[in-house]
Structure 1
Amino acid sequence: MISLKKDLNDKQLEQIFDQLKSVADLNNLLDIKIRLEEISSVHSVYVARKWPNNLELDIRLEKAIAYWNDDAYINDRGEVFIADYLVGGDLPQLYGPKGSAPRVMEVYQQFNRVLFKSGNVMKLLKLNDRGAWEFHDSSGTKIFLGNEDIRERLQRTVDILYEIENESLGTPKLIDARYNNGVAVEWNNKLEIAKNSKLQRDVSL
Structure 2
Amino acid sequence: MKRRNAWFGLLLLVLLIGAGGRALWLWLDRPVERVSIRGEWEYVSAEYLRTQLAPLVRNATWLSVDLGELRDGALDIGWLYEARVSREWPNTLVFELIEQEPIARWNDDFLLNPEGKPFAFAPLEAPADLPDLAGPVGSSEEVLDYYQSLTPRFSRLSLTLQQLRLEPRGAWRLQINDDTWIMLGRRQHDIRLARLAASWQRELHRFTDAIRYIDLRYPNGVAVSWHGEETFDATVE
Report the TM-score, using the length of structure 2 for normalisation.
0.69
Tell whether 2:94 aligns with 1:56.
yes
Aligned residues, how many? 191
Question: How far is 1:142 from its partner?
Answer: 0.5
CA distance in 2, matches of 1:26, 1:176: 63
What amino acid is aligned across from residue 2 of structure 1 in structure 2?
V
Cα deviation, residue 93, structure 1 = 1.5
Check if 1:46 corresponds to 2:84.
Answer: yes
Q: Please name the residue that 2:51 is paired with.
A: 14
User: CA 1:180–1:59 in 2, change beyond 3 Å: closer, same or farther?
Assistant: same
Choose from 140, 164, 167 the match for 1:128. Answer: 167
- Structure possessing the higher radius of gyration over alpha carbons: 2
**Residue number in structure 2 paired with 1:35:** 73
| Letter in structure 1 aligned against 2:203 | I
Match of 1:203 in 2: none
**1:178 CA drift (Å):** 0.9
Equivalent residue for 1:89, pick from 89, 105, 128: 128
Q: Say if 2:211 is the partner of 1:177.
A: no
The answer on whether the counterparts of 1:23 and 1:32 sit within 8 Å (CA) in structure 2 is: no
Match of 1:4 among 19, 30, 37: 37
Contact persistence 1:143–1:174 (CA under 8 A) = yes
Distance 2:119 2:51 in 1: 18
The equivalent residue for 1:197 is none
**Residues 11 and 114 of structure 1: is their aligned pair in 2 closer, same or farther, counting only changes over 3 Å?**
same
- Give the CA deviation at 1:37: 1.4
User: Corresponding residue for 1:159?
Assistant: 198
Structure-2 change in CA distance of 1:86 and 1:21 (3 Å): farther
Name the counterpart of 1:200.
none
Aligned equivalent of 1:111: 150
Greater alpha carbon shift after TM alignment, 170-179 vs 24-33: 24-33
Structure with the bigger percentage of helix? 2
Provide Cα deviations, 1:61-111, integer angstroms capped at 9, x if missing partner: 222222211222222222111121133212221111122222111111111
Identity %: 28
TM-score normalized with structure 1 length:
0.79
Note the C-alpha offset of 1:179: 1.9
Cα offset, 1:43, TM superposition: 0.8
User: Structure 1: how far apart are the matches of 2:87 and 2:177?
Assistant: 48
Q: In 1, are the aligned partners of 2:109 and 2:121 still within 8 Å (CA)?
A: no
Letter in 1 for 2:146: V
- Return the offset for 1:51: 4.0
2:131–2:161 CA contact under 8 A, matched in 1: yes
Deviation at 1:21, TM superposition (A): 3.8
Aligned equivalents of 1:101, 1:178: Cα separation in 2:
24
Deviates more, 1:56-65 or 1:135-144: 56-65
The alignment status of 1:65 with 2:103, answered yes or no, reads yes
Report deviation, 1:137. Answer: 0.6
Aligned partners of 2:111 and 2:120 also within 8 Å = yes
Taking a change above 3 Å as real, the CA distance of residues 187 and 77 of structure 1, as seen in their structure-2 partners, is same
Q: CA shift at 1:191, angstroms? A: 9.1
Mapped partners of 2:163, 2:218: distance in 1: 22
Alpha-carbon spacing, 1:103–1:115, altered in 2? closer, same or farther (3 Å): same
More deviation, 101-110/23-32: 23-32
